[in-house]
Structures are given as structure tokens and as C-alpha cells.
Structure 1
Amino acid sequence: MQTSWLTIEQYANLSTQVQGAFIAPLPAFQILSITGPDSHKYLQGQSTCDLNQLTADNFLRGAHCDAKGKMWSIFHLFSAADTLHIIAFRDELSASTVQWKKFGVFSKVSFDASEGRFAVFGLGGPDVDKLVSQLGFTLPATDGMLSRCDDATLLKLASDHYLLVMPHAQAQQLMQTELPFAASSLWLKAHILHGLAYLEQPLIGEVVPQMLNLQAVNAISFTKGCYVGQETVARLKYRGGNKRATYILQADTNELPVAGSDIELQLEDNWRRIGQVINAVNINNQLWLLALLPNDITPADTLRLKSEQSIMLQQLPLPYSLN
């Protein structure tokens, strides 16, 4: 993978064998910068999170939906000076950017994809707080808070789980150091085990926020007022009707299924399609994935990944409550 801040050689040398704390370049995650006098108001009407809760010391997790409540993207949002910055996986960020630009012509708001300006890293692993301090950051007090150092911003997503955003020039310098750099799959595994999803192309425009547990990870405000898709999202909360949720599954296999791959449930001697893969990562023949399944699934149910190998899947506990 080639970017202006990460060379092919550097990317190829990244390893999954790093022990302890690590920092992983995430070239598949990108930044959209939004400016203009109407930027705050515009995003407030386009997202599930409440921008009135955004401060200089925190960030927001949210989603961008269409009029039917189906998601274009899941993102993390923070501010710097008069600019709003959105971090998301490239597929979903591209989808949301198209929609935001389409309707943004009616507001005083500008969009900059910033591919030439910012780099994204993921930090994690045991004793990652020491690595955070080594990089010059004050530790964010709690999940949802951020810390700044020069032109870089560190977001604490969960325990031992961070995103780091910095200008390309600073990222290039960072890649020349002797820090414990690791493959992105190590960070993505942690993201999955924290029950945090992102949208890859097959699921964009296909699922509502509650299907990916966004109500459980503080990504939906039910008090902020109107936004695109709010009617559907609010109805699912107050009237019920959502029958699906996201679960963590694990298997021993060398396969790496793509988003949208089928998951089947055993019913006596038969198998029935009941769900699909959201995100997956495979490290040393260990597969971890997030799956969209019926919300009455239990660890006692027998699940498999539909493939030539019929890979059996084990359900792992979520780190949060869905209730």
C-alpha cells in the first residue's frame, strides 16, 4: 500500500508478532475536514450524535443515515479550531462525503477529504499508556476524551484502545523512529473485541444503527432533536422492532471472510442462513469477526461460516450490555 506518509516497504515490514504495546499505521482509515459557518449546524442535522456535546477535550462517536435510517457511515468526530474532523473507514467515508456534499450546497459548509494532510494510527496492547506518554501525550482521563500534542490528536476509544491523527509530515517522521510498529490487523482485532464496527462496502446503506449496537457505545443521542433518519432510529428504541444485533465470534481457521459473507445456524440436521460478517481479521490462523445476527442468539447455538470448510464459530461475550 502506497501513501505519501507510508511507503510500500514500511507497510510490508509491519508485523503481527509485536509483544506489548504497539502503534499500527491505518492507511484504510481517513479524515474528512468540514469548515464553514454552518458546519456545526449542518452536521447536527446529519448525524446521530449531539454536536452540542462536543468540546475541545472530547470526541463523539456517531453515524450518518439516509432518510430510512440506513447507515452510510460510522465515524469518530472531533474539533480543532474552527474545523470539524471526521475519522472513518475509507469505504464509508467516501459514501458519506458524496451525500454530505450533495446536500451541503444549501449551507455555508466546505468539505476537504484531507488525504494529503492527515495520517491515522491505532495504538493498543498491554502497557499502551506508557507508549502514549512516550509520544508526548497526557493520558485522556476516560473513554471518549482526547489529548493533543503539537498538531497531533489522540482519541481514547476504550481501555487500551486509541486512535492517533497527525499531519502527513509528522507521520513520516514518526515512521522513521524505533517505536513498536505493528500491522493494522492487531489494532483491528482489538476493535472487534471491543465490539466496535465500521462499514465496509457490502453493508453501506443496508443496516440501521441499532443493528451494529451503536446505542450501546454512546453513538446515538435520543434527545438531540431532528436529523436525517431519526424517525426510524427513534421508533426502534421506543416502539421496538429491531430483531438484530452485532456479536463477536471466533474460529480456528486460515480463512478471512469478506464483509457480507453468510453465517449459518444449525437446526437439527440442517443449516439455515441467519446472519452475515461485518468485519473480520485473521492473525496466525485465528479468526475474529463481528457478525450481524438475530438478537436472541445464545452461546449454546451452533454457528458456522458458510464456506467449503464449514468453519465452526464460537460466540464471545460483548464488552457492553445491549439492554
Structure 2
Amino acid sequence: MHTSWLTAKSYGQLSNQVQGAFIAPLPAFDIVRVSGADNRKYLQSQTTCDIDQLDDSQFLRGAHCDAKGKTWSVFHLLQQADELLVIAFRDELNASVIQWRKFGVFSKVSFSAGNDDYAVLGIGGDEAHTLVTQLGFKLPGGNGRLSRHNNGMVLQLAEQHYMLVLPKIDAIALLDKAYPLAAPTLWLKQHILHGLCYLEQPLIGEFVPQMLNLQAVSAISFTKGCYLGQETVARMKYLGRNKRAAWILQAQTEEAPAAGCDIEQQFNDNWRRVGQVINAVNINNQLWLIAVLPNDITPADSLRLKSDSAPALQLLPLPYPLS
């Protein structure tokens, strides 16, 4: 799969300096179309979300795990006619599709790239809902809801934070209109501040879903039937064995750490590795990141990025309670 609808010239015209509401193309996010008579039944057995709850007015956030409960992907799933559309960052989506195809040979299900037909964009910033209505959509009406218009869909991920799925030809045309267009990093900053994440290649298969706070953002059903990795996920909840969580941090630095970079905590005169960066974005020397750390970390703990300059990291509050 490869997203090629955004040209290098178009990408180079995008800015991080947009004030207020904006639309940001997300060329690193792909779509897979899941078709066949068993598409819902099959994904129900493969994912943490309850696909029986899916309908035309809402989408599901979910995860795909291996048999040991380690997360291959974090995705958004929606219904489109008789197909299911899975939206995720390209690295993790590729990883999951390989596994789904491998185990789907005995089911009436098929997987095909959706990026020939669709493009993914983000809408964010203050008063982002005004852009949703300017594009002709009704407001979804809450987190987890979606709205449809002219074969396009807008998903409300969080307050003033949306994902826009358009036919590719419409997405290309949108970039030539008088809308405030921003670089993907501006949308990602908001994604991080909402406590949301995706998995890049180094971290695929490293964390159980609760370490990514997926139970706190309605991405895990504990009442559905069996699915791959369920035993581990359930044990983490009911036996209280999860000792890690995803936390939001910020720093003043020029650095932009890659996924998997280490975070250290000070213990007396020593620094010890305590976590890893999941996603990070640096805008004008202001770094925001989301990282997996011990779940009892506090703002009083001294944290730093393990790097040549080792900038100090400030812990920010999560926008939701952990459970």
C-alpha cells in the first residue's frame, strides 16, 4: 500500500503556522477495504472492539493484537455499504493486513487497498467544527460518531479533533480551495494532546493495548466474545497486572525523537531507562510527545529524553481518566 495523492509540491506549501481551525492532509495514513460475507464476523474474532456495535452513524476505535496480546495496530473502523474500511498509520496497517490475510484464508473475507479511492485528512484547531459544516457535513454529534456527505465521511475523534475521509479526487480538489491548510504535524500535535497514538514500525508488537490507554478511549470491549490476544488483555484488567500507561510530555528543545527512543528517570544521582517515545512532533522548538512510562509516574519525577542534549521533559495531564 502506498499513499500518493499528495504531491511533493502540495506538501511543501503546508505550514505549521496556521492559527485557528485547519485542514491537514494525512498522507501517512492508509485505508484497507475489507469485503466478503464474513468481513464483520472475521474482524470480530481479530480485534479488541465489538463490531456488532458498528452502524452507519458511528465508527469504532480498536486494536489488533497477536496471540500474546501485543498490539500490531491501533485503527479506526467504519461501515461503507457492504464493506468495512480500516484506517490506520501505514506501518501498523501493513503489519495487520499481513496477519489478517494469513489467517483469513478459511473465511469469506478479502482485503484490498483503499487508497486508490480514498484519502485521509485531519481537521483540528479552535472552532474546527466550523470547517466541518463548511465542507457540507452535519456535525457528528460526539466522540465516536461520524457524519456522511457526498461519499465522504468525517469522524469525531475528540473535542475539535476530526478525521476526514474523502474520495481521492475530492481530496485533491480540496487542496486548491480557500481553506486554511496545515502540515500534518499540527494535527499530530493535537492528536498527542488528546492522549491518542498510533504505532510506527519500531513499536509494532511491543505493547499490550492498556499500555497505550486504549481502554480509556473506548477501544477495548470486555464483554464481546473471544478474539486474538483476549486472554492477556483480560488478565491485565481483571488481575491488575498492567504497570504501564501512555503519558503526554513536552519540552523546549530542537530535538524530534523517533518512535522507540528512550526516556530516562532520575533516581538519586543516576538516570535509568523507564519508557519509550510512541509519537512525537516538534514545532518551533516545542516538543510534544506521547510515551509509555510506569503508570505511577508523577509530575514531581525528573524525566529526560535520552539523547546528546538530554532535554528535561514535563509531564502533562491526560484528558481522560485511566482505569
Please tell me the TM-score bracket, short chain as reference: over 0.9
Q: Please report how far the alpha carbon of residue 283 of structure 1 lies from its aligned counterpart in structure 2 after TM superposition.
A: 0.4
* Secondary structure class of the residue paired with 1:189: helix
- Change over 3 Å in CA distance of 1:298–1:4 after alignment to 2: closer
Other-structure match for 1:19: 19
Provide Cα deviations, 1:1-40, integer angstroms capped at 9, x if missing partner: x954221111011000001100000000010110000000
Other-structure match for 2:225: 225
Other-structure match for 1:252: 252
1:118-137 maps to which residues of 2 (within 5 A)? 118-137=118-137
Other-structure match for 2:36: 36
In the alignment, the residues of structure 1 paired with residue 173 and residue 4 of structure 2 have an alpha-carbon distance, to the nearest angstrom, of 12
Q: Please report how far the alpha carbon of residue 71 of structure 1 lies from its aligned counterpart in structure 2 after TM superposition.
A: 0.7
1:88 paired with 2:88, answer: yes
* Secondary structure class of the residue paired with 1:32: strand
In the alignment, the residues of structure 2 paired with residue 4 and residue 314 of structure 1 have an alpha-carbon distance, to the nearest angstrom, of 37
1:1-323 maps to which residues of 2 (within 5 A)? 4-323=4-323
* Secondary structure class of the residue paired with 2:111: strand
Q: Normalised by the size of structure 1, how large is the TM-score?
A: 0.98
Contact 1:38 1:107 (8 Å CA) reproduced: yes
Q: Normalised by the size of structure 2, how large is the TM-score?
A: 0.98
* Secondary structure class of the residue paired with 1:17: coil
The runs of 5 or more residues in structure 2 that have no matched partner are: none
Q: CA RMSD in A?
A: 0.9
Contact 1:4 1:168 (8 Å CA) reproduced: no
The runs of 5 or more residues in structure 1 that have no matched partner are: none
Provide Cα deviations, 1:73-94, integer angstroms capped at 9, x if missing partner: 0000000110100110000000
Alignment-mate amino acid for residue 237 of structure 1: K
In the alignment, the residues of structure 2 paired with residue 104 and residue 225 of structure 1 have an alpha-carbon distance, to the nearest angstrom, of 18
- Change over 3 Å in CA distance of 1:127–1:255 after alignment to 2: same
* Secondary structure class of the residue paired with 2:225: coil
Provide Cα deviations, 1:80-128, integer angstroms capped at 9, x if missing partner: 1101001100000000010001011110001111221110000001111
Percent of matched pairs sharing the same residue: 66
In the alignment, the residues of structure 1 paired with residue 41 and residue 69 of structure 2 have an alpha-carbon distance, to the nearest angstrom, of 20
In the alignment, the residues of structure 2 paired with residue 283 and residue 4 of structure 1 have an alpha-carbon distance, to the nearest angstrom, of 25
In the alignment, the residues of structure 1 paired with residue 197 and residue 3 of structure 2 have an alpha-carbon distance, to the nearest angstrom, of 24
In the alignment, the residues of structure 1 paired with residue 248 and residue 3 of structure 2 have an alpha-carbon distance, to the nearest angstrom, of 32
Contact 1:33 1:111 (8 Å CA) reproduced: yes
Contact 2:3 2:28 (8 Å CA) reproduced: no
In the alignment, the residues of structure 2 paired with residue 286 and residue 158 of structure 1 have an alpha-carbon distance, to the nearest angstrom, of 23
Alignment-mate amino acid for residue 11 of structure 1: Y
Alignment-mate amino acid for residue 123 of structure 2: L
In the alignment, the residues of structure 1 paired with residue 233 and residue 149 of structure 2 have an alpha-carbon distance, to the nearest angstrom, of 37
Provide Cα deviations, 1:182-213, integer angstroms capped at 9, x if missing partner: 00000000000000010011110111000000
Stretches of 4+ aligned residues off by more than 2 angstroms: 2-5
Provide Cα deviations, 1:34-54, integer angstroms capped at 9, x if missing partner: 000000000000000000100
In the alignment, the residues of structure 1 paired with residue 96 and residue 5 of structure 2 have an alpha-carbon distance, to the nearest angstrom, of 24
Provide Cα deviations, 1:284-316, integer angstroms capped at 9, x if missing partner: 000000011011111100000001101100000
Alignment-mate amino acid for residue 235 of structure 1: R
In the alignment, the residues of structure 1 paired with residue 181 and residue 89 of structure 2 have an alpha-carbon distance, to the nearest angstrom, of 20
- Change over 3 Å in CA distance of 1:111–1:252 after alignment to 2: same
In the alignment, the residues of structure 2 paired with residue 133 and residue 167 of structure 1 have an alpha-carbon distance, to the nearest angstrom, of 18
Q: Please report how far the alpha carbon of residue 253 of structure 1 lies from its aligned counterpart in structure 2 after TM superposition.
A: 0.4
